[in-house]
Structure 1
Amino acid sequence: MTILQLNDVKKTFIYGEEEEQVLKGISLSLKEGEITALVGASGSGKSTLLTIAAGLQRATHGNILFNGENVSEMSQDQIRNLRANQFGFIFQASHLVPFLTVQDQLILMLKLSETKLKKQEQRDEAAKLLKLTDLYHRKDAYPQSLSGGEKQRAAVARALIHKPKILFADEPTASLDSKRSKDIMKLIKQLTKTMKITTMMVTHDEEMLLYADKVVTIRDGLVFN
């Protein structure tokens, strides 16, 4: 089932009197339970496409449909609500809150969403996901004491704790070595399938494409497959 549909998406940036068209009309569909990898050279537009799909910036032209609803016509408050409850995000850096333990990172995300779980239920949900990501033994640790791989696993757990429909991952393994990169991608693949999440991922690492169900090549703001 298609959960996210991008229709003729274009994006133009204006720098003084100059214009740069980064996306030139991209149409793309993402299905439930699949990982779609966006690849292409630096400056091709893949990260711009991901941020538009995630509601982090607006397209100049075209529309984005999430479960049939037109995200392009939503207010900023509606988009913020969508990001807090239906979308999850992983970036190159983990962006963990330095003064929160691993467990509290997850609980914070639950509080930001519209969860109706009570405090103990929130802790139980966090514990369940930390066990899945092999981080339960580090639940009381602070980010400064975590390894690079542990930080990124914590970021994955935080992104998924509120059970989003779509996971947006921008170079999620860029800061990791080869072994840790594979571990993170195996984890994302496993959770995408078991939690029936749709994942859109930007990557430069060809080895990571082995974990994708679909690979989309972006070149000069257009799709080339």
Structure 2
Amino acid sequence: MSVFQLEDIKKEFKHGNTSEQILKDIDLKLNKGQLTALVGASGSGKSTLLTIAAGLQKLTDGTISFGGQNLSSMNDEQVREVRAKHFGFVFQHAHLVPFLTVQEQLELMIDTAELKWSKKDKQSRIEDVLKTVDMWNHKDSFPENLSGGEKQRVAIARAIIHEPEILFADEPTASLDSKRSVEVMELIERLASELNITVLMVTHDNDMLKYAERIVEMKDGKII
């Protein structure tokens, strides 16, 4: 079942009196609980498409539909609210707040999503999620005391703590060695399957494609 749709997406960047079309007539549907990998050469438009889909960048033309809503017709504040409550994000680097413990990273995300959970429910959810990513024993650790793979697992925990429907992942294993990359991808694959989270992931690593249920290739701003 399709839960997220991109229709006739176009993106142009203007350079003085000229413009460059980065995305050209993109149509893409994301299905519930499916892990979709976006692949293609550098400059093909993968990351641009992901950031537009996630509401982090504005499109030039087209329609983005989610949950019966047209995100492309919303103002910035309305998009921010959808993003905070329904989307999760994992990037190449974990981007953890250096002065917050693992548990506090997740508490901050819950507050950002403006979830009206009781203190007990909040703590229970944090414990469940950190156990899911095998980081509960590190709940009081600061980022400087974590390995690269551990930081990325915390970043994934932070991305799903508010129970998002869509997880956007931009090169989530690019900064990791092969062993840690496998651990992170196995985790993302399991989240999609067990928690029924829809995942859109950009990757250059062909070894990671075996974890994707669907592979979408881009070239010169188009899906081929």
Normalising by structure 2, what TM-score? 0.98
1:18 to partner: Cα distance: 2.5
The one-letter code of the counterpart of 2:47 is S
The answer for the alignment partner of 2:7 in structure 1 is: 7
| Partner SS state of residue 95, structure 1 | coil
1:66 to partner: Cα distance: 0.5
1:142 to partner: Cα distance: 0.3
The answer for the alignment partner of 1:146 in structure 2 is: 146
The answer for the alignment partner of 1:110 in structure 2 is: 110
| Partner SS state of residue 11, structure 2 | strand
The one-letter code of the counterpart of 1:20 is E
Q: Deviations over 1:48-74 (max 9, x none)?
A: 000010011111111110122110001
The answer for the alignment partner of 2:211 in structure 1 is: 211
1:193 to partner: Cα distance: 1.3
| Partner SS state of residue 99, structure 1 | coil
| Partner SS state of residue 83, structure 1 | helix
Q: Deviations over 1:133-169 (max 9, x none)?
A: 1101100000011000000000000000000000000
1:174 to partner: Cα distance: 0.3
Distance 1:126 1:73 in 2: 34
Give the gaps of 5 or more residues in structure 2: none
Corresponding pairs, count? 224
State percent identity of aligned pairs: 56
Give the gaps of 5 or more residues in structure 1: none
Distance 1:176 1:163 in 2: 26
Distance 1:80 1:61 in 2: 19
4+ residue runs over 6 A deviation: none
The one-letter code of the counterpart of 1:126 is I
The answer for the alignment partner of 2:17 in structure 1 is: 17
Normalising by structure 1, what TM-score? 0.98
Task: Please give the residue correspondences for 1:163-182 in structure 2 after superposition, counting only pairs within 5 Å.
Answer: 163-182=163-182
1:189 to partner: Cα distance: 0.7
Distance 2:65 2:31 in 1: 12
1:42 to partner: Cα distance: 0.6
The one-letter code of the counterpart of 1:113 is A
Distance 2:54 2:220 in 1: 21
